[in-house]
Amino acid sequence: MIECFENYDLKPHTTFKIGGLAKKVYFPENKEEFIEVLSSLADKAPVVLGGCSNVLISSKGVSNPVIMTSKLDKYEFDEEFLTAQCGVKGGIISKEAQKLGLSGLEFMIGFPGWVGGMIYMNASAHNQAISDIFIEADVYNLNTKKIITLTKEDMKFSYRKSVMQIIPYILINAKFKLIKKDTKLINDLMERNLEFRKTRQPNLSYPNVGSIFRNPTGDSAGRLLDLIGAKEFKSGGAKIWQNHANFIVNTGNATSYDVLKLIKMCYDEIYKDYMIKLIPEIKFIGDMSENEAEIWNTVSKKGLV
């Protein structure tokens, strides 16, 4: 029997510490249970969540069934190859690769994200990206209810994008190719990456979901937001982080509406001054109020999630 809960509080699972109750949440324990629950829920538009480090979950809750991948955390190194399930934490495999003298995962150190989400959004940092090391992945197609294998070409990776944002593919596991390198060189790069994160990004003692907006072509969202004085912006329990304007932090009691209002303030001011429409990097998930839906439809070119 697959573990399942009703009226389940999602807030503790999110790095933003924002979100309401999900009507029904499933916790598959292995690949077989994951496929079983995906197959049974395919027609009900299930929401699949991992580390919840790049999502804003509605304070009103989630009516669609939710599948949590926290127990799908198996991974295996075979010489220079790594195979990892969707629920594997990026920081864990980054450290394990370093011990084995394998390079390619240094950028994941300090990442709160998990493999499924990192492939979905082609996570990147410090001149490394998940697409650089990706070979193939097994995914479940919610439309056809079949499992297929996608190659790197099939994934159509680009900046913060993959085919998984277009077609309802759910990642089961993925395979990566790493490079042999001196463990000290790998460790030194990881230390530099961690130091950068400490000085340029809020840690999770300030609940956040990382960068809010994608960088526009040839520019930096953080730079533009600095120019409009966004570090002074706040809405309810949400405010722009004082050290980097492309981060929103939850001061303790923020709601999803607080965050969306703050996103809209930034979006409007940038468009007014620079005629640039910033695109949110985060995903909004769940039941929305009329005001929330209006804001999200304005700032998100993809509409509702």
Cα dihedral angle (116, 117, 120, 121), rounded to 10 degrees? Answer: -150
289, amino acid identity: S
Residue 109 CA to residue 95 CA, distance in Å, equals 7
Backbone φ, ψ for residue 23 (5° rounding): -60, -40
pLDDT of residue 302: 46
Task: Provide the 3-class DSSP secondary structure of residue 276.
Answer: coil
pLDDT digits (tens, 9 = 90+) for 218-252: 999 999 999 999 999 999 999 999 999 999 999 99
CATH number of this structure's domain 221-299: 3.90.78.10
What does the domain layout of the chain look like in residue ranges? Answer: 3-68, 75-198, 221-299
pLDDT of residue 111: 84
Residue 121 CA to residue 131 CA, distance in Å, equals 10
pLDDT of residue 14: 96
What are the DSSP calls for 158-179, one per residue? BTTB-GGGTS-EEEEEEEEE-E
Indicate the pTM of the whole model: 0.94
The rounded Cα 197 to chain-centroid distance in angstroms is: 17
CATH for 75-198 (3.30.420.40, 2.40.110.10, 3.40.190.10, 3.30.465.10): 3.30.465.10
pLDDT digits (tens, 9 = 90+) for 19-63: 999 999 999 999 999 999 999 999 999 999 999 999 999 999 999
pLDDT of residue 205: 84
Residue 303 has pLDDT above 90, yes or no: no
- Average pLDDT over every residue of 141-165: 97
Q: Can you name the CATH fold of 3-68?
A: 3.30.43
pLDDT digits (tens, 9 = 90+) for 256-282: 999 999 999 999 999 999 999 999 999
pLDDT of residue 110: 84
pLDDT of residue 198: 83
Q: Annotated active-site positions, please? A: 160, 211, 281
Residue 71 has pLDDT above 50, yes or no: yes
Residue 169 has pLDDT above 60, yes or no: yes
